[in-house]
Structure 1
């Protein structure tokens, strides 16, 4: 299949993100993906059991369109805008190969981690379960997710968002350099 476009350069994508954030700020809206899970749980009736989910979700339903856009955008990007898998630095490829990951530079995600075969093992299931819990706990504890703090919070000059983003980066470094090698 012939691919239609190249990825957008930073000088196009960056101002589009900034413009979107400006519009949301002027409209009094906050952007964040983890809040969509709260909205979906509230729609599903979780408010009957947990006070956190008892709120007027109808005022936040606009944000669910962000989820639809992310899914549609990911599909379009993969099918039409991505001629090949991203090429990773050779040093990183060697490090990943020592951990048993040999699919770098051939797919967008390591198939050793994200294939159905890998996820349907006990180890894969436990990793997804624990990771999902930690991400959910972290987003709730930090008062938002990486997209909410890093895009929305930082664009509004919120110090708590800066602290959260620094924490996210430190957590990512700890995961990649200390925990990930223990798991694989």
Structure 2
């Protein structure tokens, strides 16, 4: 029994996780569905009645109930994994990364999943926190809508469906991520 708990509480190796993702994606493709988390936000807005005020939200959200259930399963699975299967809340990152983050002003890097001096209610009242949380959140939402989906939708579902727009979007995600990581974030953290 301890071996099973130990296996479950560790990150799964690629040769287990990869085929599981492939089976899920193949099943969705065979059923004519596309995976994407950001589509759930549209469905939730439609459920709340946004379709009365905006044509974009006026669609049959009932056809997307499976995706809402899938997203709920992700949340519940994450909660179970964090609460019962995570041996430590400490993040396992290299000493080099810790020293790089400390040079950028991150306090206690690796002690929690996200740096508390950047992602907390207290940091929201600072200029740096407002830019990162509010402006960054707006840009993510705008980019998701403009690209026609989120990173998971394009990188997992779109690429497995051999969609050229998804390939272009994923390349853009990586270029944008590198740009922000090496040019914007160091500047923003020193403000």
**TM-score (norm: length of structure 1):** 0.92
When the two chains are superposed, the root-mean-square deviation of aligned CA atoms in Å is 1.8
Select 2:23's aligned residue among 19, 26, 31: 19
| Deviating more after overlay: 84-93 vs 55-64 | 84-93
Select 1:40's aligned residue among 16, 38, 44: 44
> Do 1:46 and 1:53's aligned partners in 2 also have CA atoms closer than 8 Å?
yes
Aligned residue in 2 for 1:83? 87
Query: Aligned pair count?
Result: 183
How far residue 74 of structure 1 moved from its aligned partner, in angstroms, is 1.4
SS at match of 2:145: helix
Deviations 1:134-153 (A, max 9, x none): 11111111111000000001
| Deviating more after overlay: 35-44 vs 5-14 | 5-14
Select 2:148's aligned residue among 143, 157, 166: 143
Select 2:100's aligned residue among 89, 95, 98: 95
Map 1:1-184 → 2, pairs under 5 A: 4=5, 5-84=9-88, 85-184=90-189
How far residue 119 of structure 1 moved from its aligned partner, in angstroms, is 3.1
> Do 2:119 and 2:133's aligned partners in 1 also have CA atoms closer than 8 Å?
no
How far residue 122 of structure 1 moved from its aligned partner, in angstroms, is 4.9
SS at match of 2:33: coil
> Do 1:34 and 1:139's aligned partners in 2 also have CA atoms closer than 8 Å?
yes
> Do 1:47 and 1:53's aligned partners in 2 also have CA atoms closer than 8 Å?
yes
How far residue 80 of structure 1 moved from its aligned partner, in angstroms, is 2.2
> Do 1:149 and 1:165's aligned partners in 2 also have CA atoms closer than 8 Å?
yes
Structure 1 regions of 5+ residues with no counterpart?
Answer: none
> Do 1:46 and 1:54's aligned partners in 2 also have CA atoms closer than 8 Å?
yes
In 2, distance between residues paired with 1:125 and 1:70? 28
SS at match of 1:37: helix
SS at match of 1:141: helix
